[in-house]
Amino acid sequence: MEFTLNEQIRLANYSHLCEQLKLDHRANIDLEELEPQSGLGIFKVTVQVQPGGGRFWGYFQVKHDKNEKVSYKLISESMPRLNSY
């Protein structure tokens, strides 16, 4: 998730203005499974990062391979910020 946010900053050419974001491990991560009965494994995920305490959300899909290895993929186009500076 950190990579996704930092990649968006880089693609928007704001890297020179922004610090590298890191997940704030002291803050809660909010997970809301969408349509749990569907078995699609789609979650709305809200996280907080540092520096700055920014809260961002996005939709992720959880996948399991044949060896039960878990992977996560961002399926929303972006992760909008919920709070202001």
Q: What is the pLDDT of residue 1?
A: 60
pLDDT in tens, 33-82: 999 899 899 999 999 999 999 999 999 999 888 888 998 888 998 889 99
Q: pLDDT: is 75 or 4 the higher one? A: 75
> Cis (ω within 30 of 0) for the bond into 51?
yes
Give dist(CA 15, CA 11) in Å, integer: 8
Residue 60 φ/ψ, nearest 5 degrees: -125, 150
Q: What is the pLDDT of residue 3?
A: 67
- What is the rounded average pLDDT of the residues 23-28? 95
- What is the rounded average pLDDT of the residues 2-29? 88
